Amino acid sequence: MPDLKRLIDTAKKAMEKAYAPYSNFQVGAAILDNNGQLHAGCNVENSAYPIGCCAEQAAVTAMILGGGQAIQDIVVIAKKHNPCPPCGACRQVIAEHSDHNTKIHLLTQGDGLTTFQVSELLPQAFSPDHLDSC
Ligand code: THU
């Protein structure tokens, strides 16, 4: 699938740009949106540790800025981990901008892909629907 290959390359390039001097854990993420556009993000840490930003959240921000409405595919890769599962906060952010077809691909250093649906990584997710019913 050519789009997936492009997405993997984009995630790897983003990972190389990560600013992670404190954890030394570089992460890259790339999104293919519902319009067929690619968006990338990397983690950006800060000397005030808690305000660092994860790669997936940066990629979602880029997607919104680029006019995308939904994640079709997101690839996540980390330099030191095999593979890198999105943290809880990133799962919530990904869920907010997903639909039933969204796929989350975790990439290993050997280019293996493990693919999940959002509901597998975040079952019983809090969603915008709950705001109306709570
Ligand atoms: N990190 C991400 O970018 N995405 C995740 O889903 C997990 C963690 C980053 C945050 C921090 O800069 C570093 O990895 C170590 O936690």
The domain segmentation of the chain, as residue ranges, is 2-132
Catalytic (active-site) positions: 56
Q: What is the pLDDT of residue 111?
A: 79
Copy the structure tokens of residue 13. Answer: 């390039």
Q: Of the CATH numbers 2.40.37.10, 3.30.70.1450, 3.40.50.300, 3.40.140.10, which one belongs to the domain with range 2-132?
A: 3.40.140.10
Mean pLDDT of 52-63: 98
Instruction: Output the CA 109–ligand 1 centroid distance in Å.
Output: 16
Q: Are 102 and 112 in contact (CB under 8 A)?
A: no
Give the pLDDT band (50/70/90) at residue 10.
very high
The residue ranges of DSSP E strands in 3-89, in sequence order, are 27-33, 38-42, 71-78
Is 56 touching ligand 1 by the criterion CB < 6 Å? yes
Does residue 45's CB lie within 6 angstroms of at least one atom of ligand 1? yes
Mean pLDDT, range 32-45, rounded to an integer:
98
> What's the pTM value of the predicted model, to 2 decimals?
0.95
Q: Is the dihedral of CA 10, 98, 23, 19 positive or negative?
A: positive
Cα(55) to ligand 1 centroid in Å equals 7
Which of 64-78, 90-104, 106-120 is predicted least confidently?
A: 106-120
